[in-house]
Each structure stands twice: as structure tokens, then as C-alpha cells.
Structure 1
Amino acid sequence: MKARYTLFALLLAWYPASLLAQVTGTVQLGGHGTSEKDNPARAGEYSTTQSGPDAAVSLQYKADGFYLGLESLALSSDQQKHDLTFELGRMVRSHTTFSKLPHRLVHDSLANLAGAIADVKIVYATDMDPAARYGIRYDELTNHTDIQLPQAPWLTISTDYREQWRQGHVQALSTSHCYSCHVVSVTRSLDLHTKDAGISAQASFGGWHVKATVSSRDAREREGAPTRTYERAQHPSLRTPLFDDRVVFDERSGPLPYGWYPSQEKDTYRLAINNANVLGFSLALSATSSEISNTHTGNEVDYDGISLAL
């Protein structure tokens, strides 16, 4: 289990002078110690197990027509959150967040898989890395910005941006069939990068709200998949090739990759129209069109949909 102890905390109030007189905020400094036993993935699945200093910062700066705010919390190198907000004369409103988070994963021992029955059907498992600890580090950057000009108060232009990194090691399983059900566990490196970007325009007039959005996603796996040469596909008792019509790969196919995280590209277009009172009814109409492609295989999927709610 995990125990967390707060060692000390110090609260500092900033009273800057002269040019920084409009800055207010607080700084908190502290430290923590962590111990663990048994299963750290269950005791601290999404929290740090590192001991050391931590800090929290909250700062605000206000001037004529301008606001800047910073909120920051750092508990360790793998658990942090930072928020930056700024406004410019109410014409531009922007919020940016960067966060880091650990995710510890359970290592399946595969001990529950061993078994056999009288006519020599066998299930067994091999763990190629039994002492491995699995986990993923999440890093995410997001930004949302609204632009609203005084000359067109009925119109709001918005942009959204998001990047996510997932890096670490996970348990990858593969199974040979027929002659024996042989499950093999290996350690798989993971390096997933996802990028989302979008822009939208929203207009409001006479009770109507119209919003058009265009967005794009690019998801990439930058580590190769593990490979395995599977055992010969034969009848488990007779050892004859009766399953050739149902098992399409075995040792004759050579090393084959498995556990793919397919890289994808996706473009989405959406139009939404809303009115809270149309002859006494609420109306919500939306249309969505998206194009998804798998960059590994070249497969593509198109989607078009319309919804109406009254």
C-alpha cells in the first residue's frame, strides 16, 4: 500500500511594488514522502510514488483591458498541472492547460490459464518478462481560444488545440491455437502521439444559434509492434492439419506482428442550429460528416449523419 506524509508547508504572499503592483498571488512550497508495498499499481494507480518537494503557484496580473492568470501545481516530475488564462479587452479569451499523469498497470501473471482435459487439449502460458512493472506516462496540452470583435458581437470565432503523449511499457499477449493454446506475454514499448486541431464560428441572432465546426485529428504510434512465430496449427488430439480452413497462420508464416495501435487521420465537419422557441417548440438540428483513414492499411471510412430534436 502507499502512505503519503506532508512534511511541511510554507505559504508566501507576494506584494510586488512599482511596475508589478498589479500582480497578486500566492506561492506554496512543501514536501512529501511516499512508501509502498504489495501492489503499487493498485495503491497509486494514478498518483506519484516519488518522494520530494512540491509546489503550488497562483498568480494574477490585471491591467487596463488585460488579464493574465497562472495556476500551477507540481507534485513530482510525473504529476503536474499548469493552467494559463489571459483575456484582452474581452475580445480575446484564451485558456491553456498542460498536465502530466502516471498510470500504473497491473502485470497479469497468467497463472489462471494453465489447464488440460483428458483428450490432450492443453492451455499453458509463458511470461517472457515476469519481473516487469508496466505503466504509461500521460502528457497533455490543451488550448481553447474565443475571439469576439466589438464590431460583430453576435459572432464568436473559437479555436481548439490538443496534443497528448502516452509513453511507457505495457503487457502484450499473443495466443497460438489448436495443437496447444500457448499464451505468451512480452513487454511492449508504447509511444502514442495524438494531435487535435479545430476552428468554429458561432453566430447568434433573433433567438437562433448557428455553429459550424471543422476539426482534424492525427494519431500516431511511433513504436513498432512485437512479433511472434506461432506454433503449428493442428488438431489438438490427432495432430493432423484439419484446421487449415480456419487458422490462416502458424509457424509456416514466420514472425508476425500483433498488438498494433493503428495510426489514424480523421477530419470532421459539423453544423448545428438551435432555437429555444420556435412556435412553442425547442429545435436542435445538426449535421456531421467525417472521414477516417488508417495510415497502416490505407482503409478509409466515411460517415454522414443528421439529427433533429424537437
Structure 2
Amino acid sequence: MLKNTPEISVIMSEFNTEPEKLEASIKSILDQTFTNFELIIVDDCGSNNLLEFTKRYNDRRIVILKNEENKGLSYSLNKAIENAKGDYLVRMDTDDYAYPDRISILYNFIKKNQQFAVVSSRAMEVGNGEDLGVLGKTGEKNSKSILSGDVPIHPGCIFEKRAIQTVGGYKEVKRAEDFALWCELLLNGFRIYVIEDILLNYNVDDEDYSKRTLANRRESLQAKFYYNKKLNGGKTGYVRIIKSVVAGILPVSFVKVYRKHFVLENEKKRK
């Protein structure tokens, strides 16, 4: 039951999510074993009538904020943070699925390990109804980790709100707002950790792969060059950036095969 002041604010931004996925995502949060949270969903002016959509749940923990026009993910998440009442923020995407004890496990860990401002779980990447493999590597993330692509799962995180506000929230960088956030946190002395638990189904479809083109990654590449310099990534960092440029011109089919064999961990083998 929600107390007067929630301990956690779950923040989401919605834009044209398939209704079935949206319903499953919202329900997975409302059905959490941890209950003292608010669920802030920012309506970024898509085709879904989010206010009407959420009335079916009759759950006073849901807060709907609507942008005046389509503003994008960074703006919407910053709006949610500005209105959040909780001391901790939990990210959630509108097409992902949270396991029932996700918030409880993340909250208990970050409260017991307050040296970390961000804690992420790992996630099962899912595509077309199939488990593709485990995403994320356990342990603390430093500048070398982040610059090499060993990063937290953005929608799998719990954040200390104070830390996010200290660095000014999300930067307006398309397809790299999470990367920029990790770098800003590290530059300001905050620490990041990924736990072993798999607590989220992370949905990826063919459209997501098609967005990984060079044209769509221009701002992301600019951010990588900028933060490689700020975090002293050196020549090795620039080589990694060049590899990401190459990845942007490869066929989608090749990228999918590469991720399956070299990025995602096979949980059956791990066991």
C-alpha cells in the first residue's frame, strides 16, 4: 500500500508502445512484491490515450504526466524526475517486463550498499517471444568499463535521485542519454554496480536493430568522442569508437548474429 510519501518513484516514458506490451509492462510493476512506490508515466504525445489506458487499473500509485508535444526520452525522463517524490528512482521501459521481486531486490541492495548511486540487475534479452541471452556483466563499472561498452542495463536500474539531480539529469543526446549519464556520474565521483540477479525481460525487436545505423548514431558517436576525452580513454577508447562506426554500417542480420555469439551470455552454458 502506498504511504503518504513513496520510497521509490518508478519512471517511464511512453510513445506509441504496442498496447499488449504496454499493458504487460505496467502490470509487471503494479504486481511487484515491494509496494511503496509511485509509477510516473510521461505521455510523450503518441497514439495511445495513456490516461484512459491506465484507468482500468484503478491504482492510485499511477501518475500520468503529459508533454505538450513530442519531446523525446531525455526530456520526458527529466520531467518524471522533477516530479518524483521518492528518494530513489527505478527505470522501466514500456515494452519490458519486470520480475515480481525486481524492485525489492534492487532497493535492498542499494540501501545496504550506499556507496553506490546506481545499481542495475542483469536482464534477459527477448526478441520475437524468444529468450536470446543474458545481457549485462556483474561488478562495479569504472570509466574503462563504460567506455568499452560494459554498462548497466538502463531500464534495469535503481538510482539515488540526489545523484541524478547533482549531474543535471539526462543530457539531450539521442540514443546515448544513458551513456552520457553514466559518464557524468563517474566524472562527479558517483559509483555504479551491476548485481548478478536477472530481474528484467529486455525486449528487442527488428525495428530496434534497424535503428543502429550510422545515420541514427551520429549524436551517440559525438558523445563517445567527448567523454572518451573527459574520462581519459586515450587511443584505446578511440579504437573502440571506430569499431562502433563500423558496426553502424554492417547489415542488421550480421549485427544480430554478432550480439548472439559475443555480447549476450548463454544462461544454459553459465549454469
TM-score normalised by structure 1 residue count: 0.20
- With a CA cutoff of 8 Å and minimum separation of 6, indicate the structure with the bigger relative contact order: 2
Greater fraction of residues in helix: 2
The structure that has the greater radius of gyration is 1
